[in-house]
Chain A
Amino acid sequence: MNRTPGQFKILASENVADPRLRRTFQSATGHALGQRAQSVQRVPEWEDLRDRAHRIKEEAVEHLDSYLEKLEASVIRRGGRVFWARDAKEASRYVVELCRRLQASTVVKSKSMAAEEIGLAEALEAAGVEPVETDLGEFIIQVAGETPSHIIAPALHMTRQQIGNLFHEKFGIPYTDVPAELCAFARQRLRRQFLSARLGVSGVNFAAADTGTIVIVENEGNARLCTSLPRVHVAIMGLEKVIPRFSDLPLFLRLLARSSTGQRQTSYVSMISGPRREGEWDGPEEFHLVLLDNGRSDILADPRVRRSLYCIRCGACLNTCPIYQRVGGHAYGSVYSGPIGSVLTPLFQGLEVAKDLPYASSLCGSCSNICPVKIDLHHQLLWLREKLASRRATPWQERLAMSLFAAGMKDPALYRMGSALLRLWLKASGKSKRPFAVPGWSPTRDFPALAETSFRQWWADHRQQGEGP
């Protein structure tokens, strides 16, 4: 299942033609949107919260160096260790080295987009360590050899029957498609792993610079297990997850849960400040925080797309996006899908690799409208399009058409003449009333015929007849 962002066009048209997949995504995203709308409705100051969260993220990102240094110092003060990784390879290698030192043969993992991004599971496997995904959705797709199709619900694309068959085939259990039974099986199987693993890996939703606290938001409890049972806990975070203050957390927690699942609060929020302290009952002996760059400093270098670093990975923009709703997450060929994926993937993997993604939007703006930290997502896509066009990475026909378009439009006489000539020609060839045949458009939709008289002509005629102003 090695999909790449370059395949978007093909994958998207395949998925759109698959009625089952379309129904699955439309009903799942619709459900999530409904839940969100209900819970947001109860927060009259919602817009104010979004504004404040935007400003706090802006503050953190615009002073990223100093907040990261502060975070580092706070984590160390609380007995943790900090590793700066410039890319995916360095970050993965660090975790692999830890496994070697601990002689760990398995690693329990909770859901982490950063870990997905760096391909940690593959790196561990290559080093002979078994990565165990413990989030139910991640577990399912790991067993299926799939990749996540949604930031929040990785197995969104699968039906209960598919999962039932999968468990039956891979684990030899009697077939069932009752979700609670499938879940109970996974719980039992993963319990054993939790109790024996020496290393637990988690992601990070927020990291407070002043206290060195990392925050993990979840519903299942697997992240709590990953961070409290094993001897060592490694948390992997993209650089941009740092927030200035511990006291900013209530604001972000209010926004995150409501935006992603419509909950007031998720079942669990873990606020972890360093390893187990002297006298505490349990908890890891070592706490490691991996600060991952992996292209983020490049994004930071372009002020026009810098705001994409404010993202708190709530998934609301996926749910509301009419494109995502119809093509699903896999079409994007990357761990990040939907509008935020269309922005981040070209920035992380290179514009040329993900050329179609910035155009995979009707610019309807519902992503920017729903974003809890007010990222102007669809404007960011426009900036990426500009980057592509100015690098001449767009098709030559399009570039030619655009220069002709601009030349014609810059000169009103040319525009007038062109429009008159076109009409003369259509009339002469008897095609005036015939709709235009437009490639890409006409197979499914009628295109209108050119009006016999343009507005411009009408205005001129009526002015002459004294009916004008």
Chain B
Amino acid sequence: MNVSLFIPCLVDQFFPSVGINLVKILRKAGVSVDYPREQTCCGQPAFNSGYHEEATQLARRFLEVFGEAETIVCPSGSCTSMVKVFYPEILQDPGLGRQLQEVTARTREFSDFLVNVMGIKDLGVAFPHRVTYHDACHLLRELGVHRAPRELIRHVRGIELVEMENSDACCGFGGAFSVKFPEISTAMAQDKSAAILQTEAEYVVANDSSCLMQIGGYLSRQGLPVKPLHLADLLGENL
């Protein structure tokens, strides 16, 4: 199987290890990996702020870049949902119909891809630590992915997964929301952190770098010991 990587701009610029580890994981899973270098951003920042004109231009570009891809895999539930859920809402051009349908159908978030497409739950990884998992909103509610990441975590040797209270509650990131309403956003991060601390986990794992940036940013400012960890990093670093 050939997989084309869709690496969100945040990962590209700030958290490249997530992409690098995803490459390792996919190779271990026995698929051939390609990175279309013409890709930039899926357009979500513009779309979420109401700039549909700009978002539409980037969505069209995405279809061009990934039009021929067999499978598109992305280490972010949020960017995946932009493609799968929101592209069909903004790209009303009937001429794009088929291509749009194919690209959205072929795009998968990485844990969903591993577990539900490849049937892989155990990558033979060991990580003897106590972790808790945060359900990223878009991954959970736009894409309905709840079990796949947990399956992958449970199959890690030595790991202890402790569910936090309200793991499905938003961390408060929400893109521009986090800077437009910093007080509310921070209050949400505070409550999320409290739930995380209660589990006494060493790591908080999630599948979206943006959530981890928010949670991690708050934890480190407060001098709290829990570390944010992307599931791709957890798995890839320990392969």
The answer to whether B12 touches A454, judged by C-beta atoms less than 8 angstroms apart, is yes
The answer to whether B221 touches A446, judged by C-beta atoms less than 8 angstroms apart, is yes
Chain A positions within 8 Å of B34 at CB level:
469
Q: Would you list which residues of chain A between 391 and 429 have a CB under 8 Å from chain B? A: 394, 398-399, 402-403, 405-406, 408-412, 415, 419
If over half of B's interface residues share one DSSP class (helix, strand or loop), that class is named, otherwise mixed; here it is: helix
Q: Is B239 an interface residue (CB 8 A)?
A: no
Q: Is B213 an interface residue (CB 8 A)?
A: yes
User: Please, how many angstroms separate the alpha-carbon atoms of A379 and B41 in the complex?
Assistant: 21
The answer to whether B54 touches A405, judged by C-beta atoms less than 8 angstroms apart, is yes
CB within 8 A of A444: which of B19, B33, B177, B221? Answer: B221
The residue on B at minimum CB distance from A8 is B181
User: Please, how many angstroms separate the alpha-carbon atoms of A438 and B14 in the complex?
Assistant: 14
B55 to chain A, nearest CB (A): 8
Q: Is A456 an interface residue (CB 8 A)?
A: yes
Q: Per-residue CB proximity of B170-204 to A under 8 Å, as 1/0?
A: 10111111111111111111000000000000000
Q: Per-residue CB proximity of A437-455 to B under 8 Å, as 1/0?
A: 0111101111111110111
The residue on B at minimum CB distance from A457 is B16
Q: Per-residue CB proximity of B22-48 to A under 8 Å, as 1/0?
A: 000000000011110111110101111
User: Please, how many angstroms separate the alpha-carbon atoms of A80 and B45 in the complex?
Assistant: 53
User: Please, how many angstroms separate the alpha-carbon atoms of A109 and B207 in the complex?
Assistant: 51
Chain A positions within 8 Å of B46 at CB level:
402, 405-406
The answer to whether A362 touches B20, judged by C-beta atoms less than 8 angstroms apart, is no
The answer to whether A410 touches B137, judged by C-beta atoms less than 8 angstroms apart, is no
The answer to whether B176 touches A359, judged by C-beta atoms less than 8 angstroms apart, is yes
The answer to whether A363 touches B58, judged by C-beta atoms less than 8 angstroms apart, is no
The residue on A at minimum CB distance from B56 is A406
The residue on B at minimum CB distance from A368 is B141
The answer to whether B182 touches A444, judged by C-beta atoms less than 8 angstroms apart, is yes
The answer to whether A445 touches B50, judged by C-beta atoms less than 8 angstroms apart, is no
User: Please, how many angstroms separate the alpha-carbon atoms of A327 and B185 in the complex?
Assistant: 11
Q: Is B97 an interface residue (CB 8 A)?
A: no
The answer to whether A365 touches B49, judged by C-beta atoms less than 8 angstroms apart, is no
Q: Is B61 an interface residue (CB 8 A)?
A: yes
The answer to whether B183 touches A17, judged by C-beta atoms less than 8 angstroms apart, is yes
The answer to whether A363 touches B182, judged by C-beta atoms less than 8 angstroms apart, is no
B153 to chain A, nearest CB (A): 22
CB within 8 A of B220: which of A12, A359, A365, A446? Answer: A446
Q: Is B11 an interface residue (CB 8 A)?
A: yes
The answer to whether B58 touches A406, judged by C-beta atoms less than 8 angstroms apart, is yes
Q: A440-B179, A451-B15 are in contact. Are A385 and B48 (CB under 8 A)?
A: yes
CB within 8 A of A409: which of B7, B49, B58, B189? Answer: B58
CB within 8 A of A455: which of B19, B57, B181? Answer: B19
The answer to whether A445 touches B175, judged by C-beta atoms less than 8 angstroms apart, is no
Q: A16-B187, A322-B188, A326-B184 are in contact. Are A439 and B179 (CB under 8 A)?
A: yes
The answer to whether A445 touches B221, judged by C-beta atoms less than 8 angstroms apart, is yes
B158 to chain A, nearest CB (A): 28
A114 to chain B, nearest CB (A): 29
B137 to chain A, nearest CB (A): 4
Q: Per-residue CB proximity of B156-172 to A under 8 Å, as 1/0?
A: 00000000000011101
The residue on A at minimum CB distance from B78 is A363
A359 to chain B, nearest CB (A): 6
If over half of A's interface residues share one DSSP class (helix, strand or loop), that class is named, otherwise mixed; here it is: helix
The answer to whether B47 touches A382, judged by C-beta atoms less than 8 angstroms apart, is yes
CB within 8 A of B38: which of A379, A390, A412, A451? Answer: A412
Q: Per-residue CB proximity of A184-215 to B under 8 Å, as 1/0?
A: 00000000000000000000000000000000
Chain A positions within 8 Å of B19 at CB level:
455, 458-459
Q: Would you list which residues of chain B between 69 and 90 have a CB under 8 Å from chain A? A: 86, 89
CB within 8 A of B51: which of A17, A358, A389? Answer: A389
User: Please, how many angstroms separate the alpha-carbon atoms of A22 and B187 in the complex?
Assistant: 10
Q: A379-B89, A409-B43, A441-B217 are in contact. Are A448 and B15 (CB under 8 A)?
A: yes
The answer to whether A410 touches B177, judged by C-beta atoms less than 8 angstroms apart, is no
Q: Per-residue CB proximity of A369-395 to B under 8 Å, as 1/0?
A: 100000000010010111111100010
The answer to whether B54 touches A403, judged by C-beta atoms less than 8 angstroms apart, is yes
Q: Is B218 an interface residue (CB 8 A)?
A: yes
The answer to whether A386 touches B52, judged by C-beta atoms less than 8 angstroms apart, is yes
User: Please, how many angstroms separate the alpha-carbon atoms of A313 and B186 in the complex?
Assistant: 29
User: Please, how many angstroms separate the alpha-carbon atoms of A140 and B38 in the complex?
Assistant: 62
CB within 8 A of A322: which of B32, B51, B170? Answer: B170
User: Please, how many angstroms separate the alpha-carbon atoms of A387 and B53 in the complex?
Assistant: 11
The answer to whether B35 touches A459, judged by C-beta atoms less than 8 angstroms apart, is yes
User: Please, how many angstroms separate the alpha-carbon atoms of A412 and B58 in the complex?
Assistant: 11
- In the assembled complex, 27 residue pairs joining A and B whose CB atoms fall closer than 8 Å, in A order, are A13-B184, A327-B184, A358-B50, A362-B173, A362-B175, A362-B185, A364-B169, A365-B141, A366-B137, A382-B50, A384-B50, A386-B50, A386-B52, A389-B52, A402-B51, A405-B41, A405-B45, A406-B46, A409-B43, A441-B182, A445-B186, A446-B220, A447-B213, A448-B15, A451-B15, A453-B16, A456-B35
Beyond the given pairs A365-B141, A412-B39, 14 more chain A to chain B contacts, judged by CB atoms under 8 angstroms and listed by A's residue number, are A326-B187, A356-B180, A362-B174, A364-B137, A365-B142, A366-B169, A366-B170, A388-B50, A406-B54, A446-B221, A451-B13, A451-B16, A456-B7, A456-B35
Which residues of chain A have a CB within 8 Å of any CB of chain B?
9, 12-13, 16-17, 22, 322-323, 326-327, 356, 358-366, 368-369, 379, 382, 384-390, 394, 398-399, 402-403, 405-406, 408-412, 415, 419, 438-441, 443-451, 453-456, 458-460, 469
